[in-house]
Chain A
Amino acid sequence: MNSMIYKKKTPLLLFLVPAFLFLAAFLFYPFVQNIINTFMKIGGLGRAAEGLNTPWYENYIRLFTDPYMRVAMKNTLVLILCTIVFQVGIALILALLVDGIRVGAQFFRTVYFFPIVISATALGLMFNLIFLYKGGMVNQLLLSLGQLETDVRPNGKVIVYWLDWKDQAHFLFTMLMPVMWQYVGFYFVIIVTGLNNISPDLFEAAALDGADGWNRTRYITLPLLRNVLCTCLVLAITGALKVFDLPWVMFGAGMPENQGWLTGTYMYDQTFNKMNVDYGSTIAVLIVVLGVVLSNISNRVFKPSEDL
């Protein structure tokens, strides 16, 4: 990899400086401000700090003792695992399948993208109606299949015990399923792009050597997709830590009974609703630290051949 071409380092400045200037000014500097804020006492949005917290690391202690934070962490870790297994998994399978067909590939590539472009507000409303307690789509379906308990009262009235999809027992599924489903298309597009970058010559050579469909996938496609899949893992982890809009529209602030927090929604709520700006900033720091640690672990595990 350390080719002759790249021994001279001067062009590197041209490559790196513009992008990193932007990042420094509009991302890193604001985030350093955010880190400073975690040690400060801040009365409300946009207000100046009123001095240091006592003790100055107060917010970090709170982070570890806050029971809702523990809830948010637990839910988010579940979300990360599900994201990796289902989102990336389903996207990979769909991408491999679409890669294997001729007719209609364009059609599938277009429609799989639909959920990403529809705004979270609209999707949230739709899923709310699908999972509605009384007469929602899922519950009506279950009722017609005879899966819901019913009672006939003495006066002849039929009582249906509707399933509450947002109660303690079901909320995790109801919250995570739409998020999973929405972003499959995102990883799908990335993996399809990766597949397109694989030279068809390799497949021709493999076909000449008598490799059939599965062997081709196993020994050529998947190894060559490794970089792309690693990228997907990192995106899945960071994405899950930041997930905000769809759960927020569907569940609002921590429903049910403060068991439904995610790191993203909890941070937003603390900053913009509860006006705990400094604590919100602390949660943001935690999100970033977790993200960097987890992505590094996944890169170590899945990318032994690369030196990053």
Chain B
Amino acid sequence: MNRKKRSISQTLTYIALGLWALTTIYPFIWVILNSFRKKGLILTDSFSLPLGDAFTWENYLTAWQRADFKNAYLNSFLISGTVTVVVVVLAGLAAYGLVRYRFPGRSLLYSLVMAGMMFPVFSTIIPVFRMEAMMGIAGTGNRWLSLLAVILPQIAGNLCFAIIILMGFIQSVPIELEESAYLDGCSVLQIYFHIIIPAAKSSFATVAIFAFLWSYNDLFTQSFFLRYPQERAITGLLNEISSQAGVNYGLMASSVVLVVIPVLLVYVLLQKHIVKGLTAGAIKG
């Protein structure tokens, strides 16, 4: 009886999960299918399989020929990789400090972080650009400096979100772990590296995923700072290709696929670290 009830609830679970999965997989497949569809057919018939006459490789070939992809991918990975690493390191430290220490001004700092999460990038970008131009980073035409000009505001832009998220997770790390480590003679830094990071490892992976994703997809900041061909990052490059293509939605779809694949790879790689049971057994006894 019990077993039967259980298998019914399992089945219902899978049905519910499967239905939602359909809504998330379908658009992805739609984009992939249309990236193989002949020009002009998307508006009239975008929901069928591109078979026979409608099928074409042309969209990918065009996209690939029009631009220096290797360079653009490299730029993207340099920018987003750096942003991700710096954000995770700095946000981890700050979140830990804000969660565990009691000091005057703590709630002020917390409010500042919260407010910082809300600053629209549209309103901060012009002052940032001016400042960086003054510092000789932005608008120099030097590829590496331009990449740095994107990296710096992106780090700041992702830090607040990362701190808020990590604070939520570090709060739920049982403090008993830290106390026993302290009694064993660990310093605060050792506690951070040997207790907090392993215990909240999946949270760090989550933050890394989003920092990477947002930096990678942040077309607005890129288009502000990366103006020369050799500086282009992949998102900006493909956006340019597809906007030049006008109503060539097939080219646009193939660009989307080319942009999305690296992010999905990063997600799948990092997601392995979001695994269960990291604190299992740690507080026994």
Contact = CB atoms under 8 A, between A and B. Distances in A.
A46 B126 contact: yes
Contacts, number: 295
A208 interface: no
Nearest to B21: A111
A207 B124 CA distance: 52
A200 B28 contact: no
A114 B24 contact: yes
Contacts of A242: 118, 120
A228 B164 CA distance: 10
B124 A196 contact: no
A241 B115 CA distance: 12
B58 interface: no
- The range of chain A's interface size is 35 or more
Given A18-B93, A201-B280, A235-B164, A185 B249 contact: no
B246 interface: no
B203 interface: yes
Given A113-B267, A201-B284, A196 B127 contact: no
Interface stretch (A72-80, A143-151, A280-288): A280-288
Interface string B195-228: 0000110110110011001000101000000000
Nearest to A102: B10
A274 to B, nearest CB: 13
Given A5-B191, A12-B101, A16-B98, A190 B17 contact: no
Nearest to A47: B126
A285 B20 CA distance: 37
Interface string A23-51: 10111111101100000000001100000
Interface of A: 1-6, 8-9, 11-12, 14-16, 18-20, 22-23, 25-31, 33-34, 45-46, 90, 93-94, 97-98, 100-101, 104, 106-119, 121-123, 125-126, 129, 137, 181, 184-186, 189-190, 192-194, 196-201, 213, 224, 227-228, 230-231, 234-235, 238, 241-242, 244, 264, 267-268, 271-272, 280-281, 284, 287-288, 291-292, 295-296, 306, 308
